[in-house]
Each structure stands twice: as structure tokens, then as C-alpha cells.
Amino acid sequence: MSNDAPLLRAEGLTRRYAMRRGLLGRSVEVRAVDGVSLTVERGRTLGLVGESGCGKSTTGRLVLGLEAPDDGHVAFDGSPMPPPGSEPWRRLRARMQMVFQDPLGALDRRLTIGTQVREPLDIHGLGDAGTRGEKVASLLSAVGLRPDQAARYPHELSGGQRQRAVLARALATDPALLVCDEPISALDVSIQAQVMNLLVELQERLGLGMLFISHDLRAVRQVSHRIAVMYLGRIVEEGEPDAVLQAPAHPYTQALVSAIPHPGRAGTRIVLQGDPPNPADRPTGCAFHPRCAAAVARCAVDSPSLKARDDGRLVACHVAHGEVDALKRAA
Amino acid sequence: MSTLVTMRGLTVAFNGQLALRGIDLAISKGEAVGLVGESGCGKSVTWLAALGLLPGKATIGGSVTIAGEELLGAPAAKLERVRGGRIGMIFQDPASSLNPVHRVGKQIAEALALHRGIAGAAARAEAKRLFDLVGIPDAERRLDAYPHEFSGGQNQRVMIAMALAGQPELLVADEPTTALDVTIQAQILELLQALRREFGMALVLISHDLGVVAETCERVCVMYAGRIVEEAPTSRLFAHTAHPYTRGLLGALPPITGPRRRLSAIPGGVPEPWAMPPGCAFAPRCGSRMAACDAGTPAHTELAPGHGAACLRAMAPEYAEAVPA
Amino acid sequence: MLRFIGSRLLRAVITIIMVVTFAFVVLRLSGDPAQIIMGADAPPEAVDAFRTAWGLDQPVWVQYFHYFGAIFTGDLGRSMRDGRDAIVLVVERIPATLTLTLPALFIKLALGIPAGIYAALHRNSIIDRVLMIMAVAGFTVPSFVLGLLLVLVFAVQLGWLPSGGQESWRHAILPVVTLGIGGAAVLARFTRSAMLEVLGQPYIRTASAKGVSWRDVVWGHALPNAAIPTVTIVGFMVGSLIAGAVVVESVFSWPGVGRLLVVAVANRDLAVVQCVLLLVAATMVTANFTVDMLYGVLDPRLRSGARKAGAH
């Protein structure tokens, strides 16, 4: 366990599914994640942004080792991720946890909150019967719940309280990595703010590394130290949140930033034509080119790779790298 | 501007519990009004009650008039003419809001037959025209498709086309973009704006997202626990926020620019209908609470032309401050 | 499409084979047919002769292959009691059974479905509660209890209707009613659930918001959707037209296929039992197959096979 290695390093992750199209049963390959590499540093948050079908949830599962990638590998704390379900993999669960979108679905209806927060301690044999009770109480306080709420059932709590309970459970084993997949989308606006504050505070206090997956750019900016934008299974842009939001390099990121609704909009908004693409029907070349205002002939042929620009921004776009002569633009 | 729809003292109770506690609202012709609030505040119930779409066990009181005619308690035939013909409504989650076993062309034709008496080939032509209007490509063929063959954004366009078929004077959009991706949301909002301009149609946009509402609407009403707590022209709402709840909502939005700060989250949660505080419903969570706030529900008072709030503090002049940037 | 039909057909055939095999094995394991048919006090040589004549002394798997081989030539065996062809025996009883089950099916549909729809539309009203209590009573009371009760009241006490046999059309009334009530109760309950589920869907609210009258919402929007799950149950009822009346036929001494089955099992009349079971399996499987096809007609979502590639 070297402290130089990043907490989590994923290289070239690929995940393919076979899907049957139509009653005729022709099998089509869907690449949910296509060559994704990312790094999560200790105590820092990487925000993963994208719309439906981009593969961000699948990436989250691959990174945790819940699914084995078809290509590429994941290294946690310098060591490779064991295969899912194996004994070393199960022991590793104590060091990495996941928080999901639907807190009600993530909690067992029949068990009290206290029992569920305590369960990881029992599973991994941490502490003993006496200390576990205290740990549960301190965990509940840490997430802003009262210790007496340990006796409640999930349906007796509000959405925000449930998500806090899920967080308490996730933190029970003092994990080093927390993967949050749309943790606030199902909550009201004011509760979203509470949970975002809580996540930032917990990270500062506990030195948690976090992978924050969301479609909400504002939320991602609020909690992340670094942002990666995904489109159709690939990362198309990566960089510092403020830099990416103020001066997005990739045309898709530009559209995404421009689509954020806020009062007093200055300038016109970029409205993308067409629908988000079907992963089973991947366009040739750059996956974004059918909807891109800046697309040129090369974009339909050559798939751009994620490369660093001079200013350090990572972009996967021929145009953004200035590799295309402006005169050659397609009509 | 002439008034199209007026609500006065609208109340709704389910099993004796009040969900709406007296809504006063006026929509003028061609106006775009936003209705903002979190879950349970009653923003959808308001319009479902106005159109008589609530289940029978709901008790509705007050008055809702369209161009002078009372809607509450109106006979079914009259309500059916108003629904879709004068007031159209579109909903969240377009995929499940369309009948899965009917072709979309047929569902649009149903509205055309009901409100414009068009049938057969003429209805099909008109449906195609509506599809073109809302931006569905390959309209002629798509009329025969089923809802599950469209994407979420396209389904919402179908819903809009269906709502427009009756040529309504007011379109109520209940969280139309909440279930959609952000870039598709942008498309739909643009479409609604364009249609409004083209037809001079009034729009009520219901959302939990202040940003969405602010961009599209001229006037915003903020709802909390079954009441409108603040109502103002959009620019004024952000520049001179009066009600602490609105202030809290604005503060809860993560900023796009500027330093990262701890979000000013409103503590606690929305009170349940059966556990309403004695005075102002927001008082237990309010940072500016006074003793008088618990005495009784503050009345909605006008602070400036077009800008009203139900807050005792707001009436004190030192409270008209700008929202922290 | 072809793949869909092909897999369903294959499943149908396998089901039939499994049913027949099961019957074959159980019948032979549950007692010596020769002994039972010849009687307890028949001399052992006669029993042995009988056994040899009918091939019962050969190993089970040999008998099994013989039987299947014979099926392909159209020979489904002969009754051990009277020597007639099993298939003839069964087929000549089918009209009698249908005389009961067809009108009963009609009653189930005509009573059950409207009751279920009505109950759903007036949920939690007095009528809904009464209907549902009646429905629960209807399908929990076993058919023979119901049948005997009806006989007690209408045949014995009131003397209005005969208690058994098949002499006149009046003899059919009580058995038909007994059959029909149980099924109507099940259908009412089921239709109510299906309707309630559909009425709670967002697209019903959209239809109302469009200005569609409530009557048209129910008939044009709700019912076509509620039909989808209901068709499953109706299909099952159609599938049991031939053999769904075993108990009732016994109670009312009605000479149909069900009664034949009961008698044949008691007598270990192997060929007849197997023939009836084969017929029952075939009807049930055909009904299920038809229902599967019907789903495709009723629910367009099933026609295009795989759903569109949704979220990761």
C-alpha cells in the first residue's frame, strides 16, 4: 500500500452488453463504457457528468468492482481489483462503498435504521458488541440524524433523512472511497443542499475520496475538485470544474453548460438538435458528430482520443485541439 | 392585459387534511407564470383541482373562473370542453402519460375530434401539421407509431402537440422537463417559448427548479405548504427577494460562478398536513422568525406593484435586500 | 416472429410429453392395474394372463416406448374394461362436458368481468365491498360444497330441479351454475385489480385532461389496457373447457369426460386415463399458446421485441 499511488485508478475500462434487437433476434453489441480511464485521489472528489445512456452508472459499478470490465483494469490503492464475489473482493468492500439515487430502495423496509447502519460492522467484524452500538450512534450524529432515530424504519423517515441513513451505513467501516450515483436527484432542492453540504463536510473530516456521478452540473461543480464529462461511453472532457464550466472546450460540454437553467441568462443558449444517441446505434467516428454544430468531415470518420491541451485540459475533439483547418469546415 | 383565469381562495382537502390552504392567483392572456415549490407544496394539486381532475374524495372550496365562468362544481360536459379546449395540461414523465396501446396519431385525433370537430383525413393532416410544429421529424410515418417507440423528449413533444390540438388559451405544464435530460430540457423549454409567441398562449410552468421557471416566465409564484408565499415579476424576485423561504431556495442552488461556499440549506423539512404549525407554516424553519409569526398565518400583502409576500418580516422596509450573489 | 412461435411450440410439445410421462409412471407405480381390474378374489393365473395380454409384465420403459410409438400411428390404446378404443371413449363424452363448460364459461365472462369493472369504478363503495365479499366466498367455497349446497336447496328442499343425471336440459342448470359461480368470482376479483391498476396510471389522467368524457376514458383508454392481464385468466378458463369439470361432473353424476377420468383412474384403466390427460394437456397448451399470441395483438410494446436501448 504505497501512498504515492492514487486511491483509485481505472484504465481503459470497457463494458459491452449483447442486446437482442426485434423479434428476429439479431444480436447487437452495446458498448455501455468504451475505454474510460479515470483517477480518484485520496480526499478529493472526481465528478462524473453526463446524460442518460452515457455510461456513468456503469462506470461507477466497474470502478467498485461490482462488475468485471470486458477490457481494462481497476487498481484500488495500488493493488488490482479482485474479481467480483471473491473473498478478497468482499473484504475490500469495507474500504469502498456506494450511495445510490433512491434511498428508499437502498434500505431494507423491514429493518430499523440502526440495524442497517450496524450491519457492515457485523459483517466485517469491526469492534465488539458493546462498541458497535456506540459507533452506530456516532455515525448517525455525524450525518445529522438523532441517535434515537436508530429505532425508526425507513418509511418513517423523510427522503433526506433516508439518504443520510444510507450515508451513515456507507461510512460505518471507515471506507477510503465513496461512489455516489445520483445521490441527490430524488430529493427536494433544499434537502439537496443539505446533503451536498454534508458530503463536502464528511470528506473534509474523514479524508474520503469520492466519485460523484450526476447529470446535474451545478451539483457536480459544488462538490468536485475535478470534472469529467461523459458522452456515449467515453470521457469527452476533463479538467478543473471552474475552468470546464467557464470555458468548455468540447462542443457537448458547451451545450451542457449552456443548458443549465438559471435566472437572468446572458447570451443565447446552445440548443442541441436531436435526441441523445442510442448506445446500440453508435455513430461512426466521433459519437457526438451528428449533433455537433462544429463538426467537420473528419469527425464522421476519425474517433478523437482524449488528449491534453496546452492548458492542461483533457478533450476528445478534433476541433478543440485545433487539428482541423477552419476553411475545411463542412457546410 | 385582460385576465383569463382567476383563482380565489382555492382550498383542497383530502380526508379532512388541507393540502391547499387558499390560493389566489390570476393569469392574464398570453402571460407566462411560473409556479415553484418543493414536493408536497400543492403546486400540481392547484391545477388538477381547477380542472376537476382530482379523485372524488377530494373536497374543493373557493372559486376558479375562466373568462368569468366558474369551473369548480361545473357540470361534466362543461369541464370536458374546458379541458384541452381552453386549458391544456401536460405532465411529467411523458412516457407513462401516453396510452401505450393507442397509436399517437389516434391519440391526437381524439383531441381534434373533441374540440375542433375534425375527423378522418382532415384530422390526420392536422395531426401531421402539429407534429411538424413541435419538431417531430418524419411526421407522416411517426403518426402511426406507439409511445414506446419514441424517446422521452419526443414523447413530451407528442404530449405538447396533443395539448395544442384543442387550441387552448392556457397551457399548464406540470414539471414537463423534470424526467428529461438537461439538453432535452433546453429543447422543450425553447419549444414552449416559441409556441407561446406564435399562438399568444398563456403558460403556467410548474417546477421545483427556480432556474427553469425564471428563464421562461415573466412572473413567478413561490408556494409552500399549500399557500403562495411570494409572488413577483421574475427580475424582482431575484433582485429583491422578500420571503425567507424564497431566499432559502435561492441560497440552496449551487452557484455556477464565484467561490464555492457552503450552501445555505434550509434546516428541517416541510411540515406534514396533519402537523401544521399554528402560525406561519414556515416559521419553525425560518431564520428571521419573530414571536408574532406563530400567532397566525400572515396575510399576503403587496410590497411593491406586482410583488406580494405572505410574511410579517417582509413588510418591514429594512427587509427589502438583494440576494447574496 | 418465427423464433417466437417456434420456441412456444417447442415448449408446448415438451409440456404435453411431461404430463403424459408423469401420468404413465404414477399410474403404474400406484398399484397393480391387473389386480385392481380383475378384482381381489380373481385366481392368480387369470391375473397373470391379463397382465401378459396387456403387456403389463414388461419393464416400464418398454411399455413407455410402445405407447409413444403407438401414438404416432394414431393408436392411443384400448380400455381395459370394455376393450373399446380409448380415444373413442373419450371423444364421445366431449359433447356432454361441453354442454356444461361452455354455458359456464359464458356465465363466468358475463358475470365476472362486468362485476369486476363496476367494482373498480366504484372503489370502496358499498357495492364494491359487497361484490368483493361475494367474490371471495365464490372462489373459496370448494365446488363440490357449492354443488351439494345447491342440490340441497334446489333439488331436495324446493324440488325445483333434479339432482343428478343427464336426462333433460333442466338437469344441466345446477352443474352449470356451480361451475360458473366459482369462475365468475375469480374473474371479478382479477378484473377489478387489473382495472384499478390501469386507472391509477398517468395516461388516464392525461386522457381526462384532454377533455375525454369519463365513459370514453373507461371504455376507450382503460379497458384495452386492463384486457391484457385479464386475457391470461380467460385463456386458462378456456383451456380447462374439456377437463375443468371433474368434480362437478362427479357430484351431479354427469356423464362427461371428467367423470370418465375419475372412473378410469379408480380402475387403473391406463389407456383411458392417459388419453384424457393427453387431451387435457393439448387443450391447455393450445389455449396458453393462443393467449401468448393474443398478447402481441393487445400490447404493442411486445411486438417490437427488445425494448429500445435505455439507460446504461
Give A-chain residues touching C308 at CB under 8 angstroms.
278
C-alpha torsion sign, points B225, B229, B233, B234: negative
Whether C210 and B111 lie within 8 Å, measured CB to CB: yes
* Domains held by chain C: number: 2
Expressed as residue numbers, the domain containing B303 is 223-319
Distance from CA of B80 to the nearest CA of C (A): 4
Whether B100 and C207 lie within 8 Å, measured CB to CB: no
Same domain as C284, residue C247? no
The mean pLDDT of A56-78, rounded to a whole number, is 92
As a whole number of angstroms, the longest Cα–Cα distance in chain B is 67
Please state which of the ranges A256-265, B126-135, C14-23, C94-103 shows the lowest mean pLDDT.
A256-265
Q: Does position A21 have pLDDT exceeding 70, yes or no? A: no
Q: Which of B170, B187, B217 is the last residue of a domain?
A: B217
- C121–chain B Cβ distance below 8 A for any pair: no
Give B-chain residues touching C203 at CB under 8 angstroms.
96-100
- pLDDT tens figures, B281-305: 998 888 888 888 888 888 888 888 8
Q: Which distant-in-sequence residues (6+ apart) come within 8 Å of B140 by Cβ?
A: B128
Whether B151 and A191 lie within 8 Å, measured CB to CB: no
What single-letter DSSP state applies at residue B294? G
Q: Does position C133 have pLDDT exceeding 90, yes or no? A: yes
- pLDDT tens figures, B26-41: 999 999 999 999 888 8
Same domain as B121, residue B262? no
The mean pLDDT of A267-282, rounded to a whole number, is 76
What single-letter DSSP state applies at residue C50? H
Give A-chain residues touching B182 at CB under 8 angstroms.
51, 215-217, 256, 259-260
* Whole-Å CA distances, C120 to C10, C116, C124, C196, C232: 38, 6, 8, 6, 19
**Residue numbers of A between 206 and 225 with CB closer than 8 Å to B:** 215-219, 221-222
- pLDDT tens figures, B241-263: 999 999 999 888 888 888 888 88
Distance from CA of B188 to the nearest CA of C (A): 18
Same domain as C47, residue C165? no
| Closest residue in chain C to residue B90, using alpha carbons only | C206
Same domain as B156, residue B29? yes
Nearest CB to B91 within list C206, C214, C304: C206
**Residue numbers of A between 187 and 226 with CB closer than 8 Å to C:** none
Whether C306 and A22 lie within 8 Å, measured CB to CB: yes
The number of C-beta contacts closer than 8 angstroms across B and C is 79
Same domain as B58, residue B115? yes
- C159–chain B Cβ distance below 8 A for any pair: no
Same domain as B202, residue B262? no
Whether C305 and A19 lie within 8 Å, measured CB to CB: no
Same domain as B186, residue B231? no
Cell of A257: 453548460
* Domains held by chain B: number: 2
Distance from CA of C303 to the nearest CA of B (A): 11
The pLDDT mean for chain A works out to: 87
Looking at the domain that runs over A8-328, which CATH code has it been given? 3.40.50.300
Same domain as B109, residue B84? yes
Residue with cell 343427464: C166
- Would B177 be classed as within a structural domain? yes
Same domain as B311, residue B185? no
* Whole-Å CA distances, A162 to A103, A112, A181, B37, C292: 6, 11, 15, 21, 42
Distance from CA of B97 to the nearest CA of C (A): 4
- A55–chain C Cβ distance below 8 A for any pair: yes
- Would B324 be classed as within a structural domain? no
- Would C154 be classed as within a structural domain? yes
Whether B208 and A188 lie within 8 Å, measured CB to CB: yes
- pLDDT tens figures, C262-297: 888 888 888 888 888 888 888 988 898 889 888 888
Neighbors of chain A by Cβ distance (3+ pairs < 8 Å): B, C
Q: Which distant-in-sequence residues (6+ apart) come within 8 Å of A191 by Cβ?
A: A158, A159, A160, A163, A184, B265, B269
- Would C158 be classed as within a structural domain? yes
- C305–chain B Cβ distance below 8 A for any pair: no
Please state which of the ranges A14-28, A242-256, B249-263, C253-267 shows the lowest mean pLDDT.
A14-28
Same domain as B168, residue B22? yes
Same domain as C141, residue C225? yes
Choose between B102 and C49: higher pLDDT. Answer: B102
Whether C310 and A53 lie within 8 Å, measured CB to CB: yes
Same domain as B85, residue B54? yes
Q: What is the ipTM of this complex?
A: 0.88
Residue type present at position A61: R
| Closest residue in chain C to residue A32, using alpha carbons only | C312
- Would C263 be classed as within a structural domain? no
- C221–chain B Cβ distance below 8 A for any pair: yes
Give A-chain residues touching B249 at CB under 8 angstroms.
189-190
Q: Which of B186, B217, B248 is the last residue of a domain?
A: B217
Domain boundaries, chain A: 8-328
Distance from CA of B91 to the nearest CA of A (A): 18
Same domain as C251, residue C115? yes
- Would C260 be classed as within a structural domain? no
- B38–chain A Cβ distance below 8 A for any pair: yes
Same domain as C139, residue C36? no
Distance from CA of A272 to the nearest CA of B (A): 7
Whether B85 and C211 lie within 8 Å, measured CB to CB: yes
- Distance from C-alpha of B202 to C-alpha of B28, rounded to nearest angstrom: 7
Q: Of A220, A290, A291, which is closest to residue B187 (Cα–Cα)?
A: A291
Neighbors of chain B by Cβ distance (3+ pairs < 8 Å): A, C
Q: Does position A80 have pLDDT exceeding 90, yes or no? A: yes
Give A-chain residues touching C311 at CB under 8 angstroms.
52-53, 57
Q: Does position A39 have pLDDT exceeding 50, yes or no? A: yes
Please report how many Cα atoms fall inside a 13 Å half-sphere around the Cα of residue A96, on the Cβ side. Answer: 25
What pLDDT score was predicted for residue B63? 94
Cell of C112: 365476472
Beta carbons of A47 and A227 less than 8 angstroms apart: yes
What single-letter DSSP state applies at residue B265? P
DSSP H stretches of helix in chain B: 43-50, 76-85, 104-116, 120-133, 139-142, 152-164, 182-199, 210-216, 234-239, 244-252
Whether A261 and B214 lie within 8 Å, measured CB to CB: yes
Choose between A323 and A98: higher pLDDT. Answer: A98
- Would C231 be classed as within a structural domain? yes
Give C-chain residues touching B85 at CB under 8 angstroms.
211
**Residue numbers of A between 118 and 157 with CB closer than 8 Å to B:** none
Distance of CA A55 to the CA centre of its chain: 9
What pLDDT score was predicted for residue B325? 36
| Closest residue in chain C to residue B103, using alpha carbons only | C300
Whether C312 and A55 lie within 8 Å, measured CB to CB: yes
- Would B250 be classed as within a structural domain? yes
Same domain as C123, residue C111? yes
What pLDDT score was predicted for residue C306? 38
- Would C262 be classed as within a structural domain? no
- Would C196 be classed as within a structural domain? yes
Please report how many Cα atoms fall inside a 13 Å half-sphere around the Cα of residue A311, on the Cβ side. Answer: 13
Whether A279 and C309 lie within 8 Å, measured CB to CB: yes
- pLDDT tens figures, B91-100: 988 989 999 9
**Residue numbers of A between 174 and 213 with CB closer than 8 Å to B:** 188-194, 196-197, 200
Same domain as B251, residue B197? no
Same domain as C223, residue C110? yes
Same domain as C57, residue C14? yes
- Would B92 be classed as within a structural domain? yes
- pLDDT tens figures, B71-87: 998 999 999 999 999 99
- Distance from C-alpha of C15 to C-alpha of C36, rounded to nearest angstrom: 30
Distance from CA of B265 to the nearest CA of A (A): 5
- A20–chain C Cβ distance below 8 A for any pair: yes
Whether C306 and A281 lie within 8 Å, measured CB to CB: no
Q: Of A175, A149, A151, A179, which is closest to residue A164 (Cα–Cα)?
A: A149
- Distance from C-alpha of A271 to C-alpha of A261, rounded to nearest angstrom: 12
Choose between A331 and C247: higher pLDDT. Answer: C247
The pLDDT mean for chain B works out to: 89
Whether C211 and B101 lie within 8 Å, measured CB to CB: no
Strand order in the sheet with B219-224: B87-90, B170-174, B202-207, B32-36, B219-224, B227-233, B307-309, B301-304
Expressed as residue numbers, the domain containing C236 is 97-255
Please state which of the ranges A240-249, B163-172, B314-323, C254-263 shows the lowest mean pLDDT.
B314-323
Element (H, E) at B206: strand B202-207
- Would B259 be classed as within a structural domain? yes
Give A-chain residues touching C306 at CB under 8 angstroms.
19-22
Q: Which of B188, B217, B246 is the last residue of a domain?
A: B217
Give A-chain residues touching C302 at CB under 8 angstroms.
none
The mean pLDDT of A306-317, rounded to a whole number, is 89
Give C-chain residues touching B94 at CB under 8 angstroms.
none
Phi first, then psi: what are they for B66, rounded to 5°?
-120, 120
Same domain as C245, residue C293? no
Confidence of residue B163 (pLDDT cuts 50, 70, 90): very high
- C interface with A, Cβ–Cβ below 8 Å: 1, 3-4, 303-306, 308-312
Same domain as C169, residue C21? no
Same domain as C244, residue C180? yes
- Distance from C-alpha of C105 to C-alpha of A215, rounded to nearest angstrom: 54
Whether B186 and A258 lie within 8 Å, measured CB to CB: yes
The mean pLDDT of A217-231, rounded to a whole number, is 94
Whether B238 and A264 lie within 8 Å, measured CB to CB: yes
Whether B93 and C301 lie within 8 Å, measured CB to CB: no
Same domain as C107, residue C250? yes
- C225–chain B Cβ distance below 8 A for any pair: yes
The number of C-beta contacts closer than 8 angstroms across A and C is 42
Give B-chain residues touching C205 at CB under 8 angstroms.
53, 91, 97
- Would B325 be classed as within a structural domain? no
Same domain as B227, residue B213? no
- Would C289 be classed as within a structural domain? yes
The CATH number given to whatever domain includes residue C107 is 1.10.3720.10
